Structure 1
Amino acid sequence: MSNRIRHPGFAALRLSAAEAAQRIRHGMTVGMSGFTGAGYPKAIPGALAEHITARHAQGEPFRITVLTGASTAPELDGVLARVDGIELRVPFQSDPELRGRINSGALEYMDIHLGQLAEKVRYGFFGKVDVAVIEISAILEDGRLVPSSSVGNNKTWLDMADAVILEVNRWQPEALEGMHDIYYDGALPPARQPIPLVHPGDRIGEPYLSVPLEKVVAVVETDAPDRNSPFKQPDAASKAIADHLLDFLRFEVKAGRIPGNLLPIQSGVGNIANAFMQGLGESEFTGLTAFTEVIQDGMLELLISGKLALAAATSFSLSPVGIERFNEHAEFLRKRIVLRQQGISNHPELIRRLGCIALNGMLEADIYGNVNSTHTLGTQMMNGIGGSGDFARNAYLSVFMAPSVAKNGLISTLVPMVSHVDHTEHDVSVIVTDQGLADLRMLSPKQRAKAILERCVHPSYRDALGDYIERANRDSFGKHTPHLLAEALSWHERYRLTGSMLNPEAVG
């Protein structure tokens, strides 16, 4: 037996990826592991894509519904989209091939809050899950499963699926064992009980996943890395955003609204998030905690330095250098990292109870604080809402961040009206750009517009947006949230037609 498959019953089910892929058929709903490029199955999707191609060549239909935790990698989303093997994809994606097919209408995509998907599957809203394809690190002698670098919705897929395919990946560090905390509570309304977690580091479950042996139809051994993007040093705009945010947190501490070691931090992925973590590392703040979705390089370094006492998440998203750093400090980190299923890491009750500071990116915001984090020009899906909505509505502080301009200044991040609304003004506390920070708490709509204009808008667009606000206040049908409906989306239309939001008359 492989040293990663230490149970004889599971070992007897070993198959090649091609053989295992035969267990998946046209029309099935398949729950796959994976969250932000970590812990996704490495072999089955490619083998399945070859199987689908062969069936299509014979004139047979073959498309499946794919449920995951979040985004995966080209080896899963990309290969299945390329062979026209996906009928419906839920809940989040970032693969260019898949995104292109979503936006061309070639396949269906459902964007949903990450913290809600497992619940809705358990309620039966998606019908049955036919097959679960789950990457794990090892199978113990007693049959318990050691999760890999992400947990995501794996517990739900294992519980709900009629059949299970396991990928045991030797590449995943053995040091992962013991970092997980899988909460086993299958009660549905009205029989639910409160989740007994009052601190990010509380362990309320077990370190392992489990599945009845009789449900498992194949065990595939792999030795392949997660999708790892190199760590990018934060650019000037990201550093400026981080500085504005740190100054704001200092002000909140001084005002007595948050403690000196802050409140549990939730941070989205990307350059700005890493810049903020780097800024925290250089700041006076210590004894920090995180209750978040993903641990990136920046958060890992805070843990290693001791600035961050503990991080609870559902997944890693580390660069190759970050993985080396994790392996170097694995024993130290074992006591400081807790990986949970995303139904817990993104649970609204826990987010509100813990008083999280939610830091998320956006594509654009409008003058009243409505945020679009998913669609370009209101119609083209970028990636999805992810977990930002889970946190934004329930956080102690809900912060959205982005550079003030995009596409080398051709797009303004602050517009009269967002082209798509993911987070309404009611769920947004703070807007931050490289230009400054607007604290929107306790402000009326018109006061919000003034704060955003003065503090967040790029100089290239400040006069034009100020002119719109002035004329809207004067000429709008209603005066509470003034808009010129004929012009509210004109900036987006101008970009669509000319490739720039800048008004030629204003710059000419």
Structure 2
Amino acid sequence: MTQPSRIAPQSLHSKIMNAEDAASLVHNGAAVGMSGFTGSGYPKAVPLALAARIEAEHSAGHPFRIKIWSGASTGPELDGALAKADGIDFRLPYNSDPIARQKINAGEMNYVDMHLSQVAPMAWQGFLGPLDTAIIEVSGITAEGDLIPSSSIGNNKTWLERADKIILEVNSWQSEMLDGMHDIYYGTALPPNRVPIPLIKPDDRIGQPHFKVDPSKIVAIVKTDAPDRNAPFSAPGDTAEAIADHILEFLMWEAKRAGLPPSLLPLQSGVGNVPNAVMAGLIKAPFEQMTAFTEVIQDGMLDMIEAGTLRVASATAFSLSPEKAEYFNTHARLFRDKLILRPQEISNHPELVRRLGCIAMNGLIEADIYGNVNSTHVMGSRIQNGIGGSGDFARNAYLSIFMTPSTAKNGAISAIVPMASHVDHINQDVQVIVTEHGLADVRGLDPKKKAALIIEKCAHPMYRDALREYFERAKKSSFGGHTPHDLREALSWHQRFIDTGSML
């Protein structure tokens, strides 16, 4: 259990209670701001107790569902447990839980998929309505009553400010060495009072290490000792290694072409085996003293720091495998001056991404031959997770790279299609597409040249001829000649998969 020293103010000890009592303070229909971002720093005890309470209410014939706002994805004790209890009426801005995903796609849960940088401003603008309760995990409370954040920041600052009442989980599993790694900026505002954010370099500190909180709003404190739940990463296979090799070769070429410094530009990367393969490759690449200005710190970034390749990483959360999370907790002191966690309205801020000149690397579900990217919906309608922060970075980055294996479902699905069945990133925001077969740098190309290059460089050989044939037919039959499409068959590949289980 949490040691008394984690909750320093004696005045708050009277608010310590068990998770069940804390859960009883949440009412049916409440909007609840939860901490958590990519499986890090989310509350773990109160949501489980709340799910049990909701199931009991349902068994008694009483309605009980809540609205959940978060930073991004959470963990099975939160989204999974509450979705299984049919306790979530509304969810934003991102979800990766499989039970919640099933309910969203079945029309049983309302879900708003949002650019992550826009969540806090929208909450302040009032479009989301009032926030009844904030349930926030912290790693401690200082003698002055400030909150020491845990392994994610996300939208916690906003939830603490906006909520009518606050429930805190103080998690002793989180390393005490996290104290000092955070930079909480309180200078954001809505127009006409908005001012420039005074951050010039990824390692600048512009805020304070702790959350400010009104102690009168704290209604419960729950002691926990529970790990974050992130999925393990498997070792990169041949496909991931090939994609990483193409990206690394391109970055070396681009650095020489554009006269970039040996440190390149600040890196942003999505999560997964391919990004970790890129990070592993960067350790051996001819770059040094690199920086990251990104959403999450993942396994490969810790490896780069230990190898001396990455000087500093700024993010809003950790997204570590269980093994790497345990390693970090044991060795957190080694990383204290090299990692900075910020609110996601800063880590994902479009103006900062543009000004710093980030190199953005993100995944996709499918891209069409003209470079439009679908990051969220399988076959155009079934949501997988959400856009997350990829849009914040893609539109504003110095380099916007999207990467994917060329096929899915053992070749039954092509990641390169005639027309994207759903578009999250318009072609103007997509500069580079990479698969294991090659890299298409489409900067400055007209649509038809983009199509020819993407088909040649990125499509799997078993689909390449069919894409070429579609493109030629479209050029002859299209209503317009700028971006040729044959609307009678543009989405036929998706319909064929739905009907037969294969796009072939």
State whether TM-score is above 0.5. Answer: yes
Q: Which moved further from structure 2: 51-60 or 445-454?
A: 51-60
- Distance in structure 2 (CA, Å) of the matches to 1:206 and 1:141: 16
Alignment of 1:364-383 (within 5 A): 364-383=366-385
Who is 1:419 aligned against?
A: 421
Matched residue, 1:115: 117
Calculate the aligned-residue CA RMSD, in Å.
Answer: 0.9
Contact 2:177–2:332 (CA under 8 A) maintained in structure 1: yes
Q: Give the one of 470, 474, 498 matched to 2:500.
A: 498
1:196 is matched with which residue? 198
Choose the corresponding residue for 1:292, options 271, 291, 294: 294
Q: d(CA) in 2 for partners of 1:320 and 1:18?
A: 27
- The equivalent of 1:60 in structure 2 is 62
The alpha-carbon deviation at position 476 of structure 1 amounts to 1.1
- The match for 1:242 among 223, 231, 244 is 244
What letter matches 2:142 in structure 1?
Answer: L
User: Is the contact made by 1:78 and 1:97 (CA closer than 8 Å) also made in structure 2?
Assistant: yes
Deviation at 1:257, TM superposition (A): 4.7
TM score, norm. by length of structure 1: 0.98
Q: Which of 357, 380, 389 is the equivalent residue of 2:391?
A: 389
For residues 58 and 230 of structure 1, what CA distance do their matches in structure 2 show?
39
Residue pairs, 1:395-414, within 5 angstroms: 395-414=397-416
* Distance in 2 between residues matched to 1:431 and 1:52, nearest whole Å: 45
| Partner SS for 2:132 | strand
Report the alpha carbon displacement of residue 229 of structure 1 after superposing the two structures with TM: 2.1
User: What do the CA deviations read for 1:384-440 (whole angstroms, capped 9, x no partner)?
Assistant: 000000000110111100001111111100000010000000100100000000001
Q: Is the 8 A contact 1:369 1:425 kept in 2?
A: yes
- Residues 9, 213 of structure 1: 8 Å contact kept: no
Structure 1 residue aligned with 2:466 = 464
**1-side partners of 2:220 and 2:330: how far apart?**
33
Q: Residue 358 of structure 1 aligns with which residue?
A: 360
Aligned to 1:319: 321
* Native 8 Å contact 1:304 1:329 kept in 2: no
SS at match of 1:133: strand
Tell me how far apart the structure 2 counterparts of residues 470 and 257 of structure 1 sit (CA, whole Å). 39
Q: Please state how far the C-alpha of 1:261 moved relative to its aligned partner.
A: 1.6
The letter of the residue matching 2:112 is M
Q: Secondary structure at the match of 1:12?
A: helix
Q: Secondary structure at the match of 1:31?
A: strand
Q: Distance in 2 between matches of 1:395 and 1:495?
A: 34
Q: Is the 8 A contact 1:362 1:373 kept in 2?
A: yes
* Rounded Cα–Cα distance in structure 1 between residues aligned with 2:424 and 2:295: 19
Deviations 1:236-264 (A, max 9, x none): 11111110011111111111253222100
| Aligned partners of 2:399 and 2:431 also within 8 Å | yes
Count, aligned residues:
502
Which secondary structure does the structure 1 equivalent of 2:5 belong to? coil
Specify the alignment match of 1:505 in structure 2. none
Q: Contact (CA 8 Å) 2:377, 2:384: kept in 1 or not?
A: yes
Distance in 2, Cα, partners of 1:476 & 1:124 = 45
Partner residue of 1:279? 281
1:32 paired residue among 1, 23, 34? 34
Aligned to 2:430, which of 401, 404, 428?
428
Counting only pairs closer than 5 Å after superposition, residues 130-141 of structure 1 correspond to structure 2 as: 130-141=132-143
What CA distance in whole angstroms lies between the structure 1 residues aligned with 2:255 and 2:189?
39
Q: Which residue of 1 aligns with 2:216?
A: 214
In 2, Cα distance between equivalents of 1:263 and 1:120: 30
Identity across the alignment (%): 60
Task: Give me the whole-angstrom Cα distance separating, in 1, the residues matched to 2:481 and 2:260.
Answer: 35
Please list every run of 5 or more consecutive structure 2 residues that lacks an aligned counterpart in the other structure. none
- Deviating more after overlay: 451-460 vs 258-267: 258-267
Q: Distance in 2 between matches of 1:188 and 1:9?
A: 34
Partner of 1:85: 87
Deviations 1:331-389 (A, max 9, x none): 22100000001000000010001000000000000000000000000010000000000
Amino acid at match of 1:350: L
1:338 to 336, 340, 349: 340
Q: Which residue of structure 2 aligns with residue 506 of structure 1?
A: none
Aligned equivalents of 2:39, 2:302: Cα separation in 1: 17
